[in-house]
Every structure is written in C-alpha cells, then in structure tokens.
Chain A
C-alpha cells in the first residue's frame, strides 16, 4: 500500500480518527441544538422544565438500547456513523442544556438588570451579555458531554460506526486483553486530552468573562489543529487501509459480519480479488443483520453468509429441509426478492453447536442433545441474547428435545459465555461448530441427533449488478467454492482467536496452501 505503516498501526490511526470524528460531530451538533434549547428554557421556565426532563430521560436510556431504537427509524436510522452520531448527540444534550441554563441564570442579577435597563433588545442581551458571560459554564457542560461521548462512542462499533470500540468488541469476542487495551487506552487518553483542552478553555474563558487577559484564541487554535490532525491522519489511514490497488481499477466493496470467521472469509475474498487486480474496500465487522441491510442499500457489494441464516432469519422459513434443499431455495428466493446471487457452498458448515466441558460429557455420558434432556435438571446454561430468544435458537431446541433446565439459562455475551464455561460457572453454552475455542478449551460438541438446527452452509451473497459489472468477481468466488473444510475453518479461527495471529497473515498463508494444493491434486 506504500504508506510505510504496518496494517495494525494504520488500523489504530484510522479507528482513532473515526472515534474523534464521531465525538466531534456529535458534540458539535449537540451544542448547536442545546444552547438554543437552554436559552428557551431560561426565557420560558415552564417549557424549560419540560426540555430538561426530556433531555434527562434521553440520558437514562442505555446506549445499546438507544442505538436499537434508532436503527429502524427512517432518515436518521440505519447502520453506520450517522445513527451513532445521532445517538451520541442525544446523550450530549442534557449536560449542555443544563449548563446553558445554569450559566445564564447564574449571571449577577445586577448585570442582567443593567442590560435590561439600558434598553437592550432580548437578542442584544443574549448575544452581548448573557451568552458571553455564560460561556465558561457552557464549556464546562461541553466537557461533561464530550467525556460521555468518548465513552459511549466505543459502543457505536456495534452498529458499524467504527471507532476504538471495534477493538473492544473484537477483544471481548476473542478474549484478547491486548485488543481490549488497544481500544480502551487510546479512548481513555482521548477523553483525558479533550477534557484537559476544554478545562483550559473553560478556565481561560472564565478569566476573560471577568476581565482577565486570556489566551483563548491560541488555545482554541492549538486544540482545533490537534483535532484536525487526528481526523486527517485517520481519514488517510482509513483510505490506505480499506482501499487497495490502482485508482483506475474497478472497485468492489466487501462486507463481513462482526466475528472472526466472517473477517477471515471477507479477507480471503478481498485478497483473492486484489490478486486479480480489483480494488477492494473492506467494510468488515458489521454487527447483527447489518450486512444484509448494507447489501440491500448497495453500501457493500458482497459478504459471506450462511444458508441457514438466510433461510430462517431473513426468509423466515421454518427449519427442517436438508442442506441441498435449503441452498437451492435460498438461491432462488434471493434472486427473486432481492436481486442477490448466492454462491456455491464454500465447503464447511457453521452450525449451532451446543457445547459442554469434556469432563461434564464424560461424567454424565453426554453425546447427543437427547442425552442433555435426561440431565437437564442439573445443568446450568448461558446463551447469547440472540440464541436465547430466537425461535430457531434455544426456545425451539428446548421444545423439540424436551429439555427442561433446572434454572433459567443466563443471558451472556458469547465471548463471556466461553469464559464462564471454562471456569465451570456454567455447564452448557451454544456457539458455532467452527469456533476455534472449541479445540483450545477442549470442549465437546453435542450431536443434534433429531436434526433440529438448520444447516448453515457458508456461501457468499453478492449483488447481481456487482457480478455483472466485475466479471472477475464470479471467477474469484468459484475459485473458493468447496475449498474450505470445517476442520480448515476451525484451524483458521483458532489461529486468529487462539494464537492471536493477524487475519491478513493467516489468510495469505491459507491462500498459499490452496495454490499448492491446486498444483498437486
């Protein structure tokens, strides 16, 4: 890429830039909205109480829930930075509105009387007296808002907005403290740096409001310059990181969901395309159903998917048919309903896997899910929120097998559930059959002997227009079809999750292996 920086460094710079951008746009927007609201609240106290109460309620909504509320809304919703900025903006409102009210009402009554008695119009009083004198307090409120925004912005990674939270979510998924720190430390440093800058600004503004000589301009200039530098570096690193190849080459946007296997598959396709001379933009780690939405919105051109997910979650069919039938039906319906093309299977299945410790399996003689039903009363289970509530998840599974747990399963983030299982805090979790940790933690996958789970064959989903536009795409896809076994996928996952190897490296080594295998059939 010719940037002279290693991919991890580029990524850190890019994510820091994104983080600063999220925080900056959100707090700037919040300030533009909150100061007028604060002024209205001062002028119309009844309305003011309502404004403050509303802003207060907004702030009590948990951040993930707020993102959830916003996603389905037209115009302001959707995935990515825009939704995140709006959520952050809503959080930032209260401290700034409150500071504006406090700042204006806290002005010496003699000064306010003097302004009134001089025959200043309301507008003149506001602009010449009230706002200048309230400014130090408003900036102090902005300080609180900014610190909050830096923190909440880490959650924004969950809806594909990027930022330093990407490291934190990745670190949680991969049990990688190093990754957690790589996201957490810069975020904390950013919060501290912005806080110091705003504290200095507030103090100098306060000095100026009381007739002191203050270095407001110089200070503001240095802060703005520093922020601009971070943004520019981030934008540059972002481009350098996600876009490759000559500017004249055709461009393809590859997406992936937010777990390791998907990143590996996305990277595998990206590298394959790049070696075919196609420029690739990587939009990896999109959470939940965002990939499908992004593909429908033509924000990406292709992403890895599983036929079972398409069949049950997107097309809403009940599980049951055999793998081949599912694949054919998904391919047909995707073509008709969305204009998407489903590739041939890549070779492995990532089915639901119900996992127990080897010791538990041995002690209770567990081999199949029917065995689980017999010992369910003594087993403690933990599931991710998805699996816990989806009809094709635990509720259906429990009905089919007649599993009645002694205590209700605990809702737990998947990565934490592995920790809990390894620490014997729970006995049974649900994960995926290609999870690298299954081997690393020496877990046993129980057989779905009644074939309750749908088959999750890995495929690529591509927009038909992208396939038509870039013929090499179809070639690249078929060169990968049937080439990745379940064992191979588990190994790849383990190399990234367990052995902490960079995805790029793991993928390029795998591609070399594929090439060698092709030459020696």
Chain B
C-alpha cells in the first residue's frame, strides 16, 4: 500500500516511518504501543490524537529515541533510529514539550541559543538567529531576550519553547501538547500562527494533542490512537465526517448544541 502511494506521488518523500512498532515499558505487562505502522511525509503536520495513556507521547519519544522500541523499528530519513547516533539524530529534530521545558537558569535568548551554539555556529550568527526566531514567535528580542522563563506567562513560555525547537533549523519537529497550558483565546491564535508558520518553513512535524479542535485546525492529517493501536488516519476534513467509535465521540464534544436535550 505504501509502495503504491509512494510511486503515485514522487514529491511525497517519507521522513518518519513507524514499522510495526511495539513498546512495552520495562516491568510492565501491557504494551503502550501495539504494532504501530505509520508514515509521515515531508512537509506534513501529522497530529497524533488520543486520550491520556493512549501512547501518543511514547510514539513521539520513539522518534528522537528518548525511548527505544521493544519490537519493530522507527525510521527517520530512511535510517532506523537505533542505527542513528542518538546525539546526531536529536540535533536534526526539534522537540517542544508541554510545559516548555525551558532551562530556568537561562534567559530567553540563551534558551533559544542552546542548539545553534551546540552546532558550533558563530556568536554573531547565533544572535541574529535568536532575534529573527523571537520575532517569528511574537516575542521581540529587545523586550523579551533578557527575561528569565519565570518572568513570562505560560503562553509566552510555550512560544519560547517553539522558538528554541526551531533554532537549530531542524527538518523535523516533534510537539507534545505545546499549547496545552493556554487560555482558549491565545490558544486558538497560536494554533493558527503555528499552522501558517509551518507552512512557510516547510518542516515535517508530529503534533500530539488530546484536543480534537486543535487536531483539526493544526494537522494536515490526523491519526487517532486507541490503547496503543492506530484506529483512524485521515485528513481533517475526512476525519470530521466520522460518526462512529472514538473519533465520533471526540467529534461529538465539539458538535453544535441546540439547547437542552
């Protein structure tokens, strides 16, 4: 099936490929992921949607090898993650965590500078990169660069988290509920900004959320995880048509309500 897909669309190059991946944490009896197979094409924003404990975060962490598969393999740019040098692999992948995971002892600017500096870029290049990234996420460096994470609002911290993940110009981004801590208004605006920004930058991304509304706004495709198995993968407009099962239940939560039943 994948072969025919690839042959029909030559431009769609597979960047991340889960091949019958199972993951069972040490000592646990039930698998968190059960023979997951999924391809993510270049330029896609694949949303992993699911309830808590469905295995979406684990799937994400398999890509940058923060966890290693029990069975099967995850291929990144054609190479199994286990064949990659972990450090090199991670430097090609931006990672955004729920709470931002910012270094509390670094200023905003220094947080963003970490990866470019690790990559050995010149200080003046790093400075320009910081300025343009902070501009991109709407936090001008003159105003925010010297602040510390605790001096920012939750939303500002998550924006810095995104800027930091982009700083090394990685071809791949992994985002784990990056906008979860936001109020609904800033959340909606940040989701739109993010979708447009990703379209401009042409990155490939996996975006984890349990928010169906967010999944439909941000994703180019939405994958539904249920107890470690993939139950539905579809573009947002097709996904929104689902009426049965978990997908239907998710959609019902955002269905227009016509007064008391």
Binding site for B on A (CB under 8 A): 108, 110-111, 113-121, 124, 128-129, 132-133, 208-212
Asked whether any CB of chain A lies closer than 8 Å to the CB of B28, the reply is: no
CB–CB A117/B105 < 8 A: no
Q: Which of B118, B149, B150 contacts A120 (CB 8 A)?
A: B118
Neighbouring A residues of B104 by C-beta, 8 Å: 108, 111, 133, 209-211
CB–CB B107/A211 < 8 A: yes
Q: Which of A114, A118, A120, A133 has the most CB of B within 10 A?
A: A118
> Which residue of chain B has the shortest Cβ distance to A122 in the bound complex?
B87
Neighbouring A residues of B149 by C-beta, 8 Å: 211
Q: How far is the CB of B42 from chain A (nearest CB, A)?
A: 21
> Which residue of chain A has the shortest Cβ distance to B88 in the bound complex?
A119
Q: How far is the CB of A119 from chain B (nearest CB, A)?
A: 4
A-contact 0/1 string along B149-188, CB 8 Å cutoff: 1110000000000000000100000100000000000000
Asked whether any CB of chain A lies closer than 8 Å to the CB of B66, the reply is: yes
Q: Which of B103, B106, B115, B148 contacts A119 (CB 8 A)?
A: B115
A124 to B98, CA, bound (A): 23
CB–CB B118/A124 < 8 A: yes
- Given A114-B95, A128-B103: 15 more A-B contacts, CB < 8 Å: A108-B99, A110-B98, A111-B103, A113-B95, A115-B103, A117-B90, A117-B95, A117-B97, A119-B86, A120-B114, A121-B87, A211-B105, A211-B107, A211-B151, A212-B150
CB–CB B150/A210 < 8 A: yes
Neighbouring B residues of A119 by C-beta, 8 Å: 86-91, 115, 118
CB–CB B103/A116 < 8 A: no
Size of the chain B interface, CB-CB below 8 angstroms: 31
24 A-B pairs with C-beta separation under 8 A: A108-B101, A110-B99, A111-B102, A111-B103, A111-B104, A113-B97, A114-B101, A114-B102, A114-B103, A116-B66, A117-B90, A118-B115, A118-B118, A119-B89, A120-B87, A121-B87, A132-B105, A133-B104, A208-B105, A210-B104, A210-B150, A211-B104, A211-B150, A212-B148
A210 to B104, CA, bound (A): 5
CB–CB A209/B105 < 8 A: yes
Q: How far is the CB of A318 from chain B (nearest CB, A)?
A: 68
Q: How far is the CB of B66 from chain A (nearest CB, A)?
A: 6
CB–CB A118/B90 < 8 A: yes
A314 to B147, CA, bound (A): 72
Q: Which of B98, B115, B148 contacts A211 (CB 8 A)?
A: B148
Neighbouring A residues of B91 by C-beta, 8 Å: 118-119
A117 to B148, CA, bound (A): 21
Q: Which of B97, B148, B168 contacts A110 (CB 8 A)?
A: B97
Asked whether any CB of chain A lies closer than 8 Å to the CB of B69, the reply is: no
Neighbouring A residues of B102 by C-beta, 8 Å: 111, 114
Neighbouring A residues of B64 by C-beta, 8 Å: 117
Asked whether any CB of chain A lies closer than 8 Å to the CB of B100, the reply is: yes
Asked whether any CB of chain A lies closer than 8 Å to the CB of B59, the reply is: no
CB–CB B95/A118 < 8 A: yes
Neighbouring A residues of B33 by C-beta, 8 Å: none
Q: How far is the CB of B20 from chain A (nearest CB, A)?
A: 25
Q: Which of B86, B98, B103, B114 has the most CB of A within 10 A?
A: B103
A124 to B120, CA, bound (A): 13
Neighbouring A residues of B115 by C-beta, 8 Å: 118-119
A-contact 0/1 string along B230-258, CB 8 Å cutoff: 00000000000000000000000000000
Asked whether any CB of chain A lies closer than 8 Å to the CB of B93, the reply is: yes
Q: Which of A111, A124, A133, A211 contacts B101 (CB 8 A)?
A: A111
Neighbouring B residues of A110 by C-beta, 8 Å: 97-101
> Which residue of chain B has the shortest Cβ distance to A129 in the bound complex?
B103
Q: How far is the CB of B86 from chain A (nearest CB, A)?
A: 8
